[in-house]
Amino acid sequence: MSRRPRYYGLMAEFDNPTAIVAATRRAYAEGYRQMDTYTPFPVEGLAEELRFHHTRVPLIVLIGGLIGCFGGFFLQLWLAGPYWPLNIGGRPLNSWPAFIPVTFELTVLCAAIAALIGMLALNGLPKPYHPVFNVPRFALASQDRFFLCIEASDPRFDRARTRDFLESLSPREVSDVES
C-alpha cells in the first residue's frame, strides 16, 4: 500500500501566457512529467507543451452509436417479426425501410449519452475538491494569472530542487500545494 504524499506539489504563478508556455517547455525538458497548468483562457501551444495524449471519447461515442443503431434496428425487427407480428396489407413483417428513422434517432441518442458519460468519466468529473484550491492565490487563475503545478507524484520531484527549479523560471510566486 503506497502512502499518499503530504504535499500535492509545488505551484508557480506567472503573469502572461508566454511565460507559462516557456515554463512548461522548460519543466518538460528538465524531465518533469506529472504537471498541469491552470489558465483563465485557452493558451495556444500549451497543450502541446504538456504533451496531452489523444482522448478516447471518439471511440466511446462510436461504440455508443453502434449500440444504439444495432439495438434500435434489431429491437424493431424482433418486435415486428416474431414477437408481435402484424400483417397489414400483405406487407412483409420485417420491412426494414420503416425502421430507419427510429434506428437513426437511437444512434444519435446513444452516441450523445455515451459522449457525455465518457467525457465526465475520463475527466474524473465531478470533482468538487482539488488540492490546488488550498493555495490562496489560485483564485486568480480564473481572472488574470497563469499557474504551473508540478505534482509530488512525479518521479523527479524533490521538494527543494523542484522549488529551486520553479524559482529559476522567474515566477511571481512559488507556493506549496498541500493535499
What are the distances in angstroms from CA 108 to CA 122, 127, 136, 143?
Answer: 21, 28, 44, 37
pLDDT computed for residue 92 by the predictor: 83
pTM for this entry: 0.75
Pick from 69, 135, 66: which is nearest to 102 by CA? 69
pLDDT computed for residue 34 by the predictor: 95
pLDDT computed for residue 116 by the predictor: 97
- If you write DSSP's letter for every residue of 59-109 in order, what string do you get? HHHHHHHHHHHHHHHHHHHHIIIIIS----TT--TT-GGGGHHHHHHHHHH
pLDDT computed for residue 96 by the predictor: 87
Work out the average pLDDT over 136-142: 93
pLDDT computed for residue 85 by the predictor: 87
Pick from 46, 40, 49, 23: which is nearest to 162 by CA? 23
Tens of pLDDT, residues 26-50 = 999 999 999 999 999 999 999 999 9
| Alpha-helix residue ranges (DSSP H) falling in the chain | 17-30, 46-50, 57-78, 100-122, 159-168
Confidence label for 53 from pLDDT (cuts 50, 70 and 90):
confident
Tens of pLDDT, residues 73-98 = 999 999 988 888 888 788 788 888 88
**What residues contact residue 13 under an 8 Å CB cut-off, 6+ apart?**
137, 140, 145, 146, 147, 171, 172, 173, 174, 175
Report whether pLDDT(56) > 70. Answer: yes
Report whether pLDDT(1) > 70. Answer: no
Sheet holding 146-151, edge to edge: 35-38, 146-151, 7-14, 173-178
Provide Rg for the chain, Cα atoms.
26
Domain edges within the chain: 7-54+130-178, 57-122
